[in-house]
Amino acid sequence: MPPRSPSQRPIQTDDPVAIRLAAVALLARRDFSAEELRRKLLDRGFAEGAVRAVLGELSGAGLLDEARYVESYVRAHVGRGHGPARIRADLRRNGVPDTLIEAALDPVDWLELARKVRRAKFGARSPQDWTEKARQARFLQYRGFSADHIRSATGADPDLD
């Protein structure tokens, strides 16, 4: 949803009760990173300083948990067949620290996931010519897989051909 225009924006408020209610209502639907939730609350017209204070309280109470958000995000996007580069970029855009990102990405078998995603899209048969290998490689690259993952999934190793 695009940010509201200044004429549509509610009057800026620093009421911590209203901010907390809005934040908890958002968190009831799904987990958010602190930065993502901060942006949503600011878009609703709440004051920056008050939002930061409420986010600190929510974090201290365990309602806003970056590690839980990252684990949930990675699990959901791995299930959709997204690779580590895409997931990492999305999480960085949402203000998540690199240490949490890498800890969540580390246990995933990316080579196997790349093979599984390729098979689901293109079938069990490996690509036979370079045109088809390139087409499948572009698809996997868009999904966020590295060159090593793509070579493994497509069998596109120039030294073997």
In a domain, 47, yes or no: yes
Say if CB 143 and CB 117 are below 8 A apart.
yes
In a domain, 95, yes or no: yes
Q: Which of 66, 81, 58 is nearest to 31 (CA)?
A: 66
User: pTM to 2 decimals?
Assistant: 0.82
In a domain, 89, yes or no: yes
pLDDT at 41: 95
CA gap 12, 100 in Å, rounded: 33
CA gap 127, 61 in Å, rounded: 52
3-state secondary structure of 2: coil
In a domain, 122, yes or no: yes
Give residue 155's region: left, alpha or beta (phi > 0; psi -120 to 50). Answer: left
In a domain, 56, yes or no: yes
pLDDT at 126: 87
pLDDT at 8: 54
Digit-by-digit pLDDT tens for the chain (161 residues) are 555 555 555 556 888 999 999 999 999 999 999 999 999 999 999 999 999 999 999 999 999 999 999 999 999 999 999 999 999 999 999 999 999 999 999 999 999 999 999 999 999 998 888 999 999 999 999 999 999 999 999 986 654 44
pLDDT at 14: 86
> Which CATH number characterizes residue 95's domain?
1.10.10
Q: Which of 139, 83, 86 is nearest to 111 (CA)?
A: 83
In a domain, 139, yes or no: yes
pLDDT at 161: 43
Question: How many structural domains does the chain have?
Answer: 3
Domain that holds residue 121: 110-154
